């Protein structure tokens, strides 16, 4: 099996789905002739042409609004946000139009769009190119949210997202684009939306995480082997959550630490912590703990960015603290 980067896996998934279904298309800023700001769509316009790989003006509300209209008419558009931070410019189109469309039409219409783009920090992107906006959409019925951490999942989840009949927000972490590489099968495969993955098995502490922090958590679990047995749950899908895997793991270890790169206050970890406290209180052997970015804007300077973000050392310290209870 060939070694494939996280970025190449996304490209492969889009190519395969466009070849499989002529209704799949890609729209966004510089996705055609330039191949995308990070080259995620490189080679697509040469293979599928300008009618299916569409360069758009710099207007996220236009990209998403046009995508919703195309979806209603039977297309399956992939809509790229050049940086996921600017998804805020299309917030109304996502929350008030795409997410509600099926409900407004009594289930007789669907909105099969994928809104994808690079998010996350660790690359010194500063204020407007480092955010993790997934929690903005976490409470919106009608949306599905995915955040792959591996190249295999990046491909499998993208293929599933494209085939899904509801709007899917696909958060790809730019730090992982060329840093993560793994063997991916040549034969077709899908990763189901709504199913978490167990990255490390343990009995003392459960770490629940997603995206780039999965790798930091697995590294922390490896470093603590022989001292603390750490189980790492990679959510993969944020909405809907795989509550079954979360519940089973927390019941096994009795201790839960939720880690994400997004800011701590109001993050997805808060909802997971609340639900664990409500439903699994009698299974707990310590407080439900959270670790996220500090509640501040992302810094450009490398030392400040490192101070703000969670990392392997901070995760290791949090695991040790929880294990002491």
Could you give the residue numbers annotated as active site? Answer: 129
What is the DSSP code (8-state) at residue 299? P
CA 147 vs CA 70, 119, 193, 319: distances in Å = 25, 10, 10, 23
Residue 97 and residue 79: Cα distance in Å, rounded?
A: 15
Dihedrals phi, psi of 17, to nearest 5 degrees: -70, -35
Residue 65 and residue 93: Cα distance in Å, rounded?
A: 6
Residue 59 and residue 73: Cα distance in Å, rounded?
A: 21
Helices (H), 2-143: 6-20, 44-48, 60-72, 91-92, 101-104
Three-state SS string across 178-217, please?
CCCEEECCCCCCCCCCCCCEEEECCCCEEEEECCCHHHHH
In 3-state terms, what secondary structure has residue 171?
strand
The interaxial angle of helices 213-223 and 312-323, nearest 10 deg, is: 60
144 close to 134: Cβ distance less than 8 angstroms: no
């Amino acid at each position: 099996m060939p070694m494939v980067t996280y970025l190449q896996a996304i490209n492969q998934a889009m190519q395969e789905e466009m070849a499989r279904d002529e209704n799949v298309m890609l729209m966004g800023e510089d996705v055609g002739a330039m191949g995308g700001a990070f080259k995620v769509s490189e080679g697509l316009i040469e293979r599928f042409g300008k009618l299916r790989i569409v360069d758009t003006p710099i207007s996220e509300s236009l990209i998403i609004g046009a995508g919703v209209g195309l979806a209603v008419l039977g297309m399956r558009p992939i809509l790229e946000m050049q940086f996921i931070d600017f998804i805020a410019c299309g917030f109304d189109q996502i929350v008030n139009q795409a997410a509600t469309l099926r409900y407004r039409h009594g289930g007789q219409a669907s909105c099969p769009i994928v809104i994808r783009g690079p998010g996350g920090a660790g690359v010194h992107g500063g204020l407007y190119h480092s955010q993790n906006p997934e929690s903005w959409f976490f409470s919106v019925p009608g949306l599905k949210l995915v955040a792959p951490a591996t190249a295999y999942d990046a491909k499998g989840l993208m293929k599933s997202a494209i085939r899904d009949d509801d709007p899917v927000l696909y958060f790809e972490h730019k730090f992982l684009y060329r840093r993560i590489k793994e063997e991916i099968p040549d034969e077709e495969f899908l990763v189901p939306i709504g199913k978490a993955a167990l990255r490390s098995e343990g009995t003392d502490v459960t770490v629940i995480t997603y995206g780039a922090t999965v790798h930091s958590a697995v590294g922390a679990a490896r470093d603590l082997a022989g001292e603390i047995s750490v189980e790492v749950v990679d959510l993969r899908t944020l909405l809907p959550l795989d509550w079954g895997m979360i519940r089973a793991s927390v019941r096994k270890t009795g201790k839960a630490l939720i880690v994400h790169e997004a800011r701590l206050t109001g993050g997805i970890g808060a909802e997971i912590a609340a639900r664990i406290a409500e439903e699994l209180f009698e299974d707990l052997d310590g407080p439900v703990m959270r670790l996220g970015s500090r509640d501040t804007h992302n810094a450009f300077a490398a030392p400040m960015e490192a101070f703000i973000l969670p990392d392997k050392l901070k995760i290791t310290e949090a695991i040790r603290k929880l294990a002491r209870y």
